[in-house]
Chains A and B, each alone.
Chain A
């Protein structure tokens, strides 16, 4: 058994002088770019302190490639044994950005009388992404005209790239962008080429984004654009604006637009004539053209205007427009005979208007209805008469807008008659008109067959003095009734308590 004094003597060196070592020294990101983009903004040194003491003294600093200290990260810092990391943000002791270049982390540790040797490990401070240039050809891209250039070529020349730097080429007209090409770069100056097949795509200007990323997180992006042109110029005839004209136009005009440039323009008024020159005025990639309307063509008739054009690559296009010039007024429409006297305010007016487009029906001097003439050349409309004598007149317009003279005036006298007006042949759209002599609270319409079977009841509460009601030809179960004779029994309950019953028989014949 050892004596206590000897035991203390044996342990003294370890307790009093200690031992320390640094292992696992490495830089997590050998290249970094402290530009504040959140990507590799720091270079991180990691190592492990091994010691039998509870703490050691630590020194860590950064030197440039000339051995000058740039930044101290730890100086006589008390550190516990175990893993340690130190980050350098690219700033020097004066908190100024250090220049691009190669730097070393230096470090050593001391535990009591034991000091480790000084260790170094390198890192690269890189603030500049690789440079590149792009060549897009052909531009404009006309895959339909050339068998050799059916694909678009995109060449990217990258300077001084490092291994594991990356290149990507994207079409950005859609969201998300379409990646055409992406690759890891070789070291040095290298040209990369990718292709795009636009034969199935629409004409237009396509934006392109070329990006190069280095290991330090620096990005160099540049936007480009190229034109895809597979069609002729976009053509429009803007004058005359409408197909039907009732006056002779002074000119025809329009525009031609093509991204690749308009090469030629020609215009003609009639389908079997030659294309003639036009007067043009350029505005960007658009040519505005016009042609004076010839004096010998200032006649009524149909003209087939056509504009022809080709673009610089050689695509052609033709656009046409039919113009019908009609300066003659149509004949007056005719109103079908009407009864001289009616006893209900609602009146259906019919008539003929062959060859006309729209019809204006005037009641007592004011246009009350604007109607379309049917293909068969007829019209029909319901008008509401005023009490007394009413005058009806119609006029029409053709498609060119020529106004006809007014029709003969038809006079109808409406005599307000208290009672209920029911169509004899009753259909789903039939309307029951009634004119009451005084205010009423309720009108009940009970419908029966002629042998007394109840079919349905329809009610209208608080009717107006002149009002209407309908029956949808269904029974009380909601089923459609059969065609036949029906007894309609109206019971009017007036506001003063009086009531009145009126019976009408109708034929339902759908």
Chain B
């Protein structure tokens, strides 16, 4: 039954993957939310799972996968050496009676709504600031005790003093998570479906379609292992691997990750971080160690609060 449900979801999602080739060249306005700090520390493998709501823009099905709702506030930078502050806020509101799945116990609510907003600003080459906001509204439903599916609508708008450069864009993300066995989870998300970007002085464009697949493995000592592969239309693929190791009962988890960029300028990027949870409050930190000639070293931090 689980295999059947997983197959159905994967086939449905693959069926809407058609627009992948619509974009001619690489790049374009991204409708991608910044990965959660937890996922950043684990090689940007956020498609698989995260504990707080910061992960749902990466996979809308994540909303019903977290054990409870919550609020998360994050901050970080995008590029070392350039002023690129990025701030995010999200809230997840679970609905319905908690689902009890033996032997896992309470695995969350059957339905969940989420809202997130990412605000980012970059300092352009001559000092002008170019900022944009990405708003996501998501909904997820646990279609079975071992499977969730989700949908999110995204809207991006920019604000800048640079004449003729503003843009408005929208798109839809679809996501699914299936628990194949008590220790193995598979996840998939399709991003920027039915998207459209309208530039102030230019013609309409289609935001680049992206596909992410991932697997999560429960390891001994409550450790988690993640693997994810992201393909964005026209761009080389990106492989991410991550590990989360809890430090006994201290509430502290140490994380490490590896990202492999393929293509003409292939390279390896390492990430690291930690998470600390105390009662309903969680604190996460991640550092991304990219080459100096690319994004450089960037730091990211978030604080979350679980809702009762």
Contact = CB atoms under 8 A, between A and B. Distances in A.
Interface in A459-510: 474-477, 479-489, 491, 501, 503-510
Given A425-B165, A505-B84, A510-B202, A455 B125 contact: no
- Dominant secondary structure at the B interface: loop
A506 B205 contact: no
A406 interface: no
Nearest to A490: B293
A446 B264 CA distance: 11
A454 interface: yes
Nearest to B293: A489
Nearest to A453: B235
A283 to B, nearest CB: 64
B124 A449 contact: no
Contacts of B200: 509
B203 to A, nearest CB: 8
Interface in A375-426: 421-425
A422 B265 contact: no
B27 A455 contact: yes
Contact of A501 (B122, B124, B290, B292): B292
Contact of B295 (A421, A448, A507, A509): A448
Nearest to A482: B28
A487 B79 contact: yes
A435 to B, nearest CB: 15
Count class of interface residues, chain A:
35 or more
Interface string B117-147: 0000011111010100000000000000000
Interface residues of B, number: 51
Contacts of B199: 483, 509-510
Contacts of B26: 449, 453, 455, 475-477, 479, 481-482
- Dominant secondary structure at the A interface: strand
B27 A423 contact: no
B293 A505 contact: no
A484 B30 contact: yes
A451 interface: yes
A39 interface: no
Nearest to A476: B264
A457 interface: yes
B103 interface: no
B249 interface: no
B294 interface: yes
Contacts of A503: 79, 81-82
A491 B78 CA distance: 20
A423 B78 CA distance: 21
B293 A485 contact: no
19 contacts: A423-B126, A424-B128, A425-B164, A449-B30, A450-B79, A455-B27, A475-B25, A482-B197, A482-B207, A482-B208, A483-B197, A483-B202, A484-B27, A491-B293, A501-B81, A501-B293, A507-B130, A509-B167, A509-B200
Kindly list the 10 A-B residue pairs having the minimum CB-CB distance in the complex, ordered from nearest: A482-B28, A479-B25, A454-B265, A504-B125, A422-B125, A424-B124, A481-B27, A484-B29, A475-B26, A481-B25
Interface of A: 421-425, 446, 448-455, 457, 474-477, 479-489, 491, 501, 503-510
